[in-house]
Protein backbone atom coordinates (compact mmCIF):
# COMPACT_ATOMS: atom_id res chain seq x y z
CA UNK A 1 0.00 0.00 0.00
CA UNK A 2 1.24 3.48 -0.77
CA UNK A 3 -0.14 6.99 -0.51
CA UNK A 4 -0.31 9.12 -3.64
CA UNK A 5 -0.56 12.90 -3.59
CA UNK A 6 -2.28 14.59 -6.51
CA UNK A 7 -2.21 18.25 -7.52
CA UNK A 8 -5.49 19.08 -9.15
CA UNK A 9 -6.58 22.00 -11.37
CA UNK A 10 -10.23 22.51 -12.30
CA UNK A 11 -12.80 24.82 -13.71
CA UNK A 12 -15.45 24.74 -10.97
CA UNK A 13 -18.23 26.15 -13.18
CA UNK A 14 -20.03 22.87 -13.75
CA UNK A 15 -19.51 21.35 -10.29
CA UNK A 16 -21.21 21.63 -6.92
CA UNK A 17 -17.82 22.26 -5.34
CA UNK A 18 -15.20 19.78 -4.20
CA UNK A 19 -16.89 17.67 -1.58
CA UNK A 20 -19.18 14.73 -2.40
CA UNK A 21 -22.79 15.69 -1.74
CA UNK A 22 -26.18 14.28 -2.68
CA UNK A 23 -27.50 17.09 -4.90
CA UNK A 24 -25.00 17.37 -7.69
CA UNK A 25 -21.74 16.24 -9.18
CA UNK A 26 -18.52 17.27 -7.43
CA UNK A 27 -14.80 17.25 -8.19
CA UNK A 28 -14.12 14.72 -5.44
CA UNK A 29 -16.79 12.38 -6.79
CA UNK A 30 -15.40 12.47 -10.33
CA UNK A 31 -11.87 11.80 -9.06
CA UNK A 32 -13.09 8.93 -6.83
CA UNK A 33 -14.90 7.29 -9.75
CA UNK A 34 -12.10 7.66 -12.25
CA UNK A 35 -9.38 6.55 -9.81
CA UNK A 36 -11.47 3.56 -8.74
CA UNK A 37 -11.91 2.56 -12.37
CA UNK A 38 -8.21 3.05 -13.09
CA UNK A 39 -6.98 1.01 -10.10
CA UNK A 40 -9.80 -1.47 -9.71
CA UNK A 41 -9.97 -0.44 -6.04
CA UNK A 42 -12.57 1.52 -4.11
CA UNK A 43 -10.79 4.87 -3.90
CA UNK A 44 -11.84 7.68 -1.58
CA UNK A 45 -9.58 10.70 -1.91
CA UNK A 46 -8.99 13.24 0.84
CA UNK A 47 -8.74 16.83 -0.37
CA UNK A 48 -6.87 19.75 1.16
CA UNK A 49 -9.44 22.42 0.35
CA UNK A 50 -13.15 21.78 0.00
CA UNK A 51 -13.81 24.56 -2.50
CA UNK A 52 -17.37 25.80 -2.98
CA UNK A 53 -19.65 25.45 -5.96
CA UNK A 54 -18.32 27.47 -8.90
CA UNK A 55 -14.90 28.10 -7.32
CA UNK A 56 -11.84 27.17 -9.38
CA UNK A 57 -8.44 25.74 -8.51
CA UNK A 58 -5.06 25.61 -10.17
CA UNK A 59 -3.39 23.69 -7.35
CA UNK A 60 -5.70 21.90 -4.95
CA UNK A 61 -4.16 18.83 -3.32
CA UNK A 62 -5.59 15.38 -2.58
CA UNK A 63 -4.29 12.01 -1.46
CA UNK A 64 -5.43 8.41 -1.80
CA UNK A 65 -4.07 5.01 -0.86
CA UNK A 66 -3.55 2.27 -3.38
CA UNK A 67 -1.83 -1.04 -4.02
CA UNK A 68 -1.68 -0.29 -7.73
CA UNK A 69 1.60 -0.95 -9.51
CA UNK A 70 1.24 2.24 -11.58
CA UNK A 71 4.37 4.30 -10.82
CA UNK A 72 3.34 7.21 -8.54
CA UNK A 73 4.46 9.93 -10.93
CA UNK A 74 2.54 8.27 -13.81
CA UNK A 75 -0.84 8.54 -12.10
CA UNK A 76 -1.28 12.10 -13.37
CA UNK A 77 -0.96 11.01 -16.98
CA UNK A 78 -3.08 7.90 -16.52
CA UNK A 79 -5.96 9.66 -14.81
CA UNK A 80 -5.96 12.64 -17.20
CA UNK A 81 -6.83 10.25 -20.03
CA UNK A 82 -10.09 9.51 -18.20
CA UNK A 83 -10.98 12.89 -16.72
CA UNK A 84 -13.29 15.43 -18.36
CA UNK A 85 -11.54 18.49 -19.84
CA UNK A 86 -12.43 20.72 -16.90
CA UNK A 87 -10.38 18.69 -14.40
CA UNK A 88 -6.62 18.17 -14.87
CA UNK A 89 -4.23 16.42 -12.50
CA UNK A 90 -1.02 18.41 -12.91
CA UNK A 91 1.22 16.25 -10.75
CA UNK A 92 1.30 12.95 -8.83
CA UNK A 93 3.88 11.69 -6.37
CA UNK A 94 4.26 9.26 -3.49
CA UNK A 95 4.11 10.65 0.06
CA UNK A 96 4.54 8.93 3.45
CA UNK A 97 1.50 6.95 4.65
CA UNK A 98 0.91 9.44 7.49
CA UNK A 99 0.96 12.48 5.22
CA UNK A 100 -2.47 14.17 5.36
CA UNK A 101 -3.27 17.23 3.22
CA UNK A 102 -5.31 18.94 5.97
CA UNK A 103 -3.18 18.14 9.02
CA UNK A 104 0.13 19.55 7.83
CA UNK A 105 1.42 23.08 8.23
CA UNK A 106 0.91 24.84 4.96
CA UNK A 107 0.39 28.16 3.26
CA UNK A 108 -2.66 28.41 1.02
CA UNK A 109 -2.63 30.91 -1.82
CA UNK A 110 -5.94 32.16 -3.17
CA UNK A 111 -6.67 34.71 -5.87
CA UNK A 112 -9.85 36.72 -6.35
CA UNK A 113 -10.23 38.06 -9.91
CA UNK A 114 -12.36 41.12 -10.64
CA UNK A 115 -13.21 42.56 -14.06
CA UNK A 116 -13.67 46.25 -13.35
CA UNK A 117 -15.27 48.01 -16.31
CA UNK A 118 -18.74 49.15 -17.28
CA UNK A 119 -19.60 46.21 -19.55
CA UNK A 120 -19.20 42.52 -18.79
CA UNK A 121 -16.90 40.42 -21.01
CA UNK A 122 -18.59 37.18 -22.07
CA UNK A 123 -15.18 35.47 -22.37
CA UNK A 124 -14.30 36.26 -18.76
CA UNK A 125 -17.69 35.77 -17.12
CA UNK A 126 -16.84 32.34 -15.67
CA UNK A 127 -13.40 33.23 -14.30
CA UNK A 128 -13.84 36.78 -12.98
CA UNK A 129 -16.40 38.68 -10.96
CA UNK A 130 -17.71 41.69 -12.89
CA UNK A 131 -17.88 45.01 -11.00
CA UNK A 132 -19.18 47.81 -13.20
CA UNK A 133 -18.53 50.68 -10.77
CA UNK A 134 -14.99 52.10 -10.68
CA UNK A 135 -12.92 50.63 -7.86
CA UNK A 136 -10.09 52.45 -6.11
CA UNK A 137 -7.46 49.75 -5.73
CA UNK A 138 -5.22 51.94 -3.55
CA UNK A 139 -8.00 52.22 -0.95
CA UNK A 140 -8.63 48.50 -1.23
CA UNK A 141 -4.95 47.85 -0.47
CA UNK A 142 -5.06 50.26 2.46
CA UNK A 143 -8.02 48.33 3.91
CA UNK A 144 -6.39 44.99 3.14
CA UNK A 145 -3.35 45.92 5.24
CA UNK A 146 -5.52 45.84 8.40
CA UNK A 147 -6.27 42.17 7.77
CA UNK A 148 -2.68 40.98 7.45
CA UNK A 149 -1.43 39.13 10.53
CA UNK A 150 -3.04 36.90 13.14
CA UNK A 151 -6.62 37.92 13.97
CA UNK A 152 -9.96 36.51 14.98
CA UNK A 153 -11.75 36.50 11.60
CA UNK A 154 -15.22 35.82 13.01
CA UNK A 155 -16.60 38.85 11.12
CA UNK A 156 -15.25 37.37 7.90
CA UNK A 157 -16.70 33.88 7.89
CA UNK A 158 -20.02 32.34 7.03
CA UNK A 159 -22.24 32.09 10.12
CA UNK A 160 -22.60 28.38 9.39
CA UNK A 161 -18.87 27.85 9.97
CA UNK A 162 -18.59 24.76 12.15
CA UNK A 163 -15.57 25.70 14.22
CA UNK A 164 -15.13 27.71 17.42
CA UNK A 165 -11.57 28.64 16.58
CA UNK A 166 -11.88 31.54 14.16
CA UNK A 167 -8.33 32.80 14.60
CA UNK A 168 -6.26 32.62 11.43
CA UNK A 169 -3.08 34.18 10.09
CA UNK A 170 -2.98 36.05 6.80
CA UNK A 171 0.61 36.29 5.58
CA UNK A 172 0.03 38.53 2.61
CA UNK A 173 -2.85 40.37 0.97
CA UNK A 174 -2.10 42.28 -2.23
CA UNK A 175 -4.54 44.19 -4.44
CA UNK A 176 -3.07 44.47 -7.93
CA UNK A 177 -4.64 46.30 -10.89
CA UNK A 178 -3.71 45.35 -14.45
CA UNK A 179 -5.82 47.52 -16.74
CA UNK A 180 -9.47 46.50 -16.36
CA UNK A 181 -8.63 43.62 -14.05
CA UNK A 182 -8.04 43.73 -10.32
CA UNK A 183 -6.68 40.66 -8.60
CA UNK A 184 -6.66 40.17 -4.85
CA UNK A 185 -3.80 37.82 -3.90
CA UNK A 186 -4.11 36.35 -0.43
CA UNK A 187 -2.04 33.79 1.44
CA UNK A 188 -2.58 32.37 4.90
CA UNK A 189 -2.24 29.33 7.11
CA UNK A 190 -5.88 28.43 6.55
CA UNK A 191 -9.17 30.07 5.74
CA UNK A 192 -12.61 29.87 7.31
CA UNK A 193 -15.75 29.02 5.34
CA UNK A 194 -16.29 31.77 2.71
CA UNK A 195 -13.52 33.85 4.32
CA UNK A 196 -11.73 34.84 1.10
CA UNK A 197 -14.98 35.72 -0.65
CA UNK A 198 -16.17 37.83 2.32
CA UNK A 199 -12.82 39.63 2.40
CA UNK A 200 -13.14 40.22 -1.37
CA UNK A 201 -16.72 41.47 -0.96
CA UNK A 202 -15.61 43.82 1.82
CA UNK A 203 -12.64 45.16 -0.15
CA UNK A 204 -14.92 45.75 -3.15
CA UNK A 205 -17.14 47.88 -0.86
CA UNK A 206 -14.07 49.85 0.16
CA UNK A 207 -13.08 50.24 -3.48
CA UNK A 208 -16.50 51.68 -4.29
CA UNK A 209 -16.28 54.11 -1.39
CA UNK A 210 -19.04 52.54 0.72
CA UNK A 211 -16.55 51.82 3.53
CA UNK A 212 -13.50 53.81 4.49
CA UNK A 213 -10.34 51.66 4.63
CA UNK A 214 -10.00 52.08 8.41
CA UNK A 215 -13.54 50.73 8.94
CA UNK A 216 -12.19 47.30 8.04
CA UNK A 217 -10.19 47.38 11.25
CA UNK A 218 -13.41 48.09 13.18
CA UNK A 219 -15.28 45.34 11.36
CA UNK A 220 -12.55 42.90 12.36
CA UNK A 221 -12.87 44.01 16.00
CA UNK A 222 -16.67 43.68 16.21
CA UNK A 223 -16.46 39.93 15.43
CA UNK A 224 -19.89 40.25 13.82
CA UNK A 225 -20.42 38.74 10.36
CA UNK A 226 -23.17 41.28 9.63
CA UNK A 227 -20.66 44.14 9.74
CA UNK A 228 -18.58 42.93 6.79
CA UNK A 229 -19.44 43.11 3.10
CA UNK A 230 -21.40 40.54 1.15
CA UNK A 231 -19.81 37.28 0.06
CA UNK A 232 -18.35 37.98 -3.39
CA UNK A 233 -19.50 35.55 -6.12
CA UNK A 234 -17.66 32.23 -6.51
CA UNK A 235 -16.47 32.49 -10.11
CA UNK A 236 -13.89 35.17 -9.21
CA UNK A 237 -12.16 32.87 -6.72
CA UNK A 238 -9.43 30.37 -7.42
CA UNK A 239 -7.20 28.33 -5.15
CA UNK A 240 -3.80 29.03 -6.72
CA UNK A 241 -1.58 26.64 -4.77
CA UNK A 242 -0.81 25.08 -1.42
CA UNK A 243 2.71 25.09 -0.08
CA UNK A 244 3.49 22.55 2.63
CA UNK A 245 6.22 23.09 5.20
CA UNK A 246 7.57 19.71 4.15
CA UNK A 247 8.74 21.59 1.09
CA UNK A 248 6.33 20.34 -1.53
CA UNK A 249 4.27 22.90 -3.33
CA UNK A 250 1.23 22.26 -5.48
CA UNK A 251 2.09 24.84 -8.10
CA UNK A 252 5.07 27.04 -8.70
CA UNK A 253 3.69 28.98 -11.63
CA UNK A 254 1.51 31.44 -9.76
CA UNK A 255 2.10 34.89 -8.37
CA UNK A 256 4.27 34.31 -5.32
CA UNK A 257 3.07 36.89 -2.88
CA UNK A 258 4.97 35.61 0.11
CA UNK A 259 8.32 34.40 -1.04
Identify which of residues 126 and 148 has a Cβ nearer to a second copy in the complex: 126
Tell me the Cα Rg of the chain.
19
**Could you tell me the smallest distance in angstroms from the CB atom of residue 120 to a second copy?**
6
Active-site residue, 52 included:
yes
CA distance 219 to 206: 12
Identify which of residues 1 and 123 has a Cβ nearer to a second copy in the complex: 123
**Could you tell me the smallest distance in angstroms from the CB atom of residue 90 to a second copy?**
5
The verdict on whether residue 171 carries a ligand-binding annotation is no
Catalytic hit among 11, 52, 152, 165: 52
CB within 8 Å of 207: residues ≥ 6 apart: 131, 135, 136, 137, 139, 140, 182
**Could you tell me the smallest distance in angstroms from the CB atom of residue 15 to a second copy?**
11
**Could you tell me the smallest distance in angstroms from the CB atom of residue 182 to a second copy?**
16
Give pairs for 114-121: CB < 8 Å, separation 24+: 114/181, 114/182, 114/183, 114/184, 114/200, 114/204, 114/236, 115/180, 115/181, 116/177, 116/180, 116/181, 116/182, 117/180
- Interaction site with a second copy (CB under 8 A): 9-11, 56, 58, 85-88, 90, 119-123, 125, 127, 238
- Which residues are tagged catalytic? 52
* Feature table: binding site for substrate: 110
Amino acid sequence: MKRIKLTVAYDGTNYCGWQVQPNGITIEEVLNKKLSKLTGEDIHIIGASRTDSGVHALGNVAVFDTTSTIPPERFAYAINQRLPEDIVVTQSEEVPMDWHPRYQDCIKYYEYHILNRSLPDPLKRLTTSHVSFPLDEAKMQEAANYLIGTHDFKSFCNIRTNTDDTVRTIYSLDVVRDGEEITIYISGNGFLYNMVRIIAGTLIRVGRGFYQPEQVKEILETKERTEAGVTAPPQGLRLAKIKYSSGTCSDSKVHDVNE
